[in-house]
Chains A and B, each alone.
Chain A
Amino acid sequence: MLNSFQTYLPLLIQGSLETIYMTLASTLFAYALGLPMGLLVVATDANGVLPMPRLNRVLQWVVNIGRSIPFIILLIAIIPFTRFVVGTSIGTNATIVPLVIAATPFVARLVETSISELDKGVIEAAQAMGASPWQIITKVMLPESIPSITLGVSITAITLVGYSAMAGAVGGGGLGNLAIRYGYHRYQTDVMIMTIVLLIILVQILQSAGSLISRKLDKRSR
């Protein structure tokens, strides 16, 4: 095992870096899209700061559809789109496209949950002070739910580690690809185990970092 570890070290390092790269990049893009989407879902709710029931229904629908498509299906179904965006459907960059599409509705839902956990009274107080919907979103909802949103980021990143490993099965690169190529096709259980260990470590780091940062940011807990 030690021997094979040294043999496969470069591959394992490369696989880890690819996984980290895919996870971070897709988390970033998923928040660039999902955060505004989640805010819009909250704001346009019938009891929200900018009630727009029709738009809200459409958004809810989009989020639910997005959340209910199994990732492995999505991955294959959007290959033409991926090819259109990145020029190819294999490799790490190509994997980021389905990862972002899968994670965006997930992020929107997490953001919505984080904000709906806020005390309604605080939002009402801001309304009573004459705050506009935009001011309520940027000065109350977002800053007040930052600790919870931070936890959501780590949950998203962890989910995307798993998804990216799945994408490895169809030529996506990263640790998942390594596990399939060596562990499955070549029956090299040791490589399989090493990739799993690395994935576990990665998930643990993301989880602990998320909790730690969230706790540090939260002014309620001191």
Chain B
Amino acid sequence: MIEISHLYKEYQGDLHKIQALEDINLTIDQGDIFGIIGMSGAGKSTLIRCMNLLEKPTSGSMRVDGQEMTTLTDAQLRDARKQIGMIFQGFNLLMQRTVLDNVAFPLELSGTPKEEIRRRCLEMLELVGLQDKAGAYPSQLSGGQKQRVAIARALVTHPKVLLCDEATSALDSLTTRSILELLKNLNQLLGVTMVVITHEISVVRNLCNKTAVIDSSHIVEQGLTSEILSNPSVDITRDLVAFEGVVRPC
């Protein structure tokens, strides 16, 4: 579903260039919940933002659903993005719109008829367990509820891929668990491929079937989550696993 090869991204810093991604090669299959874990500054956000071209890679190939993303025109890119949902650490909801109208937003963009928008949004809100909040505004919701709205908004267009950038990092551990549960169910139910960026090993442990570890701009190991966690081959993964035991005794 997502094929990345020889992907590089460099930022022009004030004094010198910053290599945020170096020679990234990854294959994410249809239906995967693919975790990408690493320390702060490793390049996780840069990598996931390259997947929908919020960041333009410096070189290399990024194919999503068979389509090369790096060579699309603006209009083609907009169409391609409609097949890729995204959720964020800060939720990024429209604060002046109701929950229902937030979920409606991506459908409005593609000119879906009003009746259909309403039907699909209510359906989606039911899936995330917020049917009774349709008329509320984001400021009236808890963090977990806001992320549920964001998930509904990202999936209402039935995208093939859902990108999650630290989607649970602003939430407490109980709420995190319920959001992870929801994402897992939606992956089963809708068959949507998920890419999950996190710095918490418990997130990949509880959610992802496959995992890649990223460290200072490089992918240092990847494979089935179970194998990586039980038999880490690099120090950074061992550190992350050990760190989990210290901070989150669960």
Which A residues form the contact surface with B (CB < 8 A)? 119, 121-122, 124-132, 135, 139-140, 143-144, 146-147, 218-222
A147 to B96, CA, bound (A): 9
The answer, among A124, A131, A143, A219, for a CB contact under 8 Å with B109, is A131
A132 to B111, CA, bound (A): 13
Given contacts A139-B105, A139-B108, contact A128 B81 (CB under 8 A): yes
List residues of chain B with CB within 8 A of the CB of A128. Answer: 52, 54, 81, 84, 86, 163
Determine if B137 and A130 form an interchain contact, defined as CB atoms under 8 angstroms apart: no
The answer, among B81, B140, B153, for a CB contact under 8 Å with A130, is B81
A121 to B54, CA, bound (A): 11
Answer whether residue B139 sits at the interface, using C-beta atoms and an 8 A cutoff: yes
23 contacts between A and B (CB under 8 A): A122-B92, A125-B88, A127-B54, A129-B85, A129-B86, A129-B106, A129-B157, A130-B79, A130-B80, A130-B81, A130-B109, A130-B110, A140-B94, A143-B94, A144-B95, A144-B96, A146-B96, A219-B95, A219-B96, A219-B97, A219-B137, A220-B96, A221-B139
List residues of chain B with CB within 8 A of the CB of A146. Answer: 96
A122 to B90, CA, bound (A): 9
Which B residues form the contact surface with A (CB < 8 A)? 52, 54, 77-82, 84-86, 88, 90, 92-97, 105-106, 108-110, 137-140, 153, 157, 163
For the A-B complex with A128-B52, A129-B81, A132-B109 known, give 13 more contacts whose Cβ atoms are closer than 8 Å: A121-B88, A125-B86, A130-B82, A131-B78, A132-B78, A139-B108, A143-B94, A143-B96, A143-B97, A144-B94, A144-B96, A219-B139, A221-B139
Return the chain B residue nearest A128 by Cβ.
B86
Return the chain B residue nearest A218 by Cβ.
B96
List residues of chain B with CB within 8 A of the CB of A127. Answer: 54, 81
Determine if B92 and A119 form an interchain contact, defined as CB atoms under 8 angstroms apart: yes
User: Which of A129, A131, A218, A221 is packed against the most chain B CB atoms within 10 Å?
Assistant: A129
Tell me the interface secondary structure of chain B in the complex.
mixed
A169 to B77, CA, bound (A): 58
Determine if A122 and B81 form an interchain contact, defined as CB atoms under 8 angstroms apart: no
Return the chain A residue nearest B139 by Cβ.
A220
Chain A proximity of B143: nearest CB distance (Å): 14
A131 to B157, CA, bound (A): 13
Chain B proximity of A148: nearest CB distance (Å): 11
Given contacts A221-B139, A222-B139, contact A130 B78 (CB under 8 A): yes
A143 to B108, CA, bound (A): 15
Return the chain A residue nearest B110 by Cβ.
A130
A121 to B87, CA, bound (A): 10
Return the chain A residue nearest B75 by Cβ.
A132
A129 to B162, CA, bound (A): 11
Return the chain B residue nearest A125 by Cβ.
B92
Determine if A129 and B109 form an interchain contact, defined as CB atoms under 8 angstroms apart: yes
A125 to B109, CA, bound (A): 13
The answer, among B80, B81, B109, B157, for a CB contact under 8 Å with A135, is B109
List residues of chain B with CB within 8 A of the CB of A129. Answer: 81-82, 85-86, 105-106, 109, 153, 157
Q: Which 6 interchain pairs have the tightest Cβ spacing?
A: A130-B81, A125-B92, A121-B92, A130-B78, A130-B82, A219-B137
List residues of chain A with CB within 8 A of the CB of B139. Answer: 219-222
Determine if A220 and B95 form an interchain contact, defined as CB atoms under 8 angstroms apart: yes
Chain B proximity of A149: nearest CB distance (Å): 11
A219 to B140, CA, bound (A): 9
User: Which of A143, A219, A221 is packed against the most chain B CB atoms within 10 Å?
Assistant: A219
Chain B proximity of A114: nearest CB distance (Å): 13
Chain B proximity of A113: nearest CB distance (Å): 18
User: Which of A130, A147, A220 is packed against the most chain B CB atoms within 10 Å?
Assistant: A130
Determine if B94 and A122 form an interchain contact, defined as CB atoms under 8 angstroms apart: yes
User: Which of B78, B110, B153 is packed against the most chain A CB atoms within 10 Å?
Assistant: B78
A130 to B106, CA, bound (A): 8
A122 to B95, CA, bound (A): 9
